[in-house]
Amino acid sequence: LSSGCVIGTQGFGFVEHEGTHHHIPQIGGVEIGEDTVIGANSCVDRGTMKPTRIGDRCRIGVQVQLAHNTQVGDDTVFEDQSGLAGSVTVGKNCRIGAQAGLAGASTMGDNSSVGPRAGVTRKVPSNTEMWGFPARPKAEAMRNVAALSLLAKMFAKEGKLPNPEA
């Protein structure tokens, strides 16, 4: 564990009652596998009822957030400033790019990756590389970026760009 890590903190779990947000007690703890490295200023929240689990040989960069009830498989890598919301499951041998995030209760299959700054809002199938927001298979995301660029050039050439003042 590098300096500044916080392991086992209360996660962001609330329930609203009569207009007030109340903490849901989280007593599940944290389990960290063998030969796992957690970078500086990273945070791993404890689980609500069952432990938050990080597998063996994981590599977690600096300023990474692993929220309550997350389950991380062996040999998974988190680049700096990435994060998992509550109850996310990540398979074995996965890679999460810098500043990428997975929304609550989403899943990531074995041998998959999420590109830098991508936002996963659903399931990532095994053996898949996802990019962009919302995250899509890499080839589709690259086509979308290229098409948007061509569309902007076409509108600029024809003088049909929208007026931002309108």
So which residues are the catalytic ones?
Answer: 68
Which phi and psi (to 5°) does residue 156 adopt?
A: -65, -40
Number of Cβ within 10 Å of residue 124's Cβ equals: 24
In contact, 52 and 36? CB cutoff 8 Å = no
Alpha helices in the chain (DSSP H): 138-157
In contact, 83 and 101? CB cutoff 8 Å = yes
In contact, 87 and 69? CB cutoff 8 Å = yes
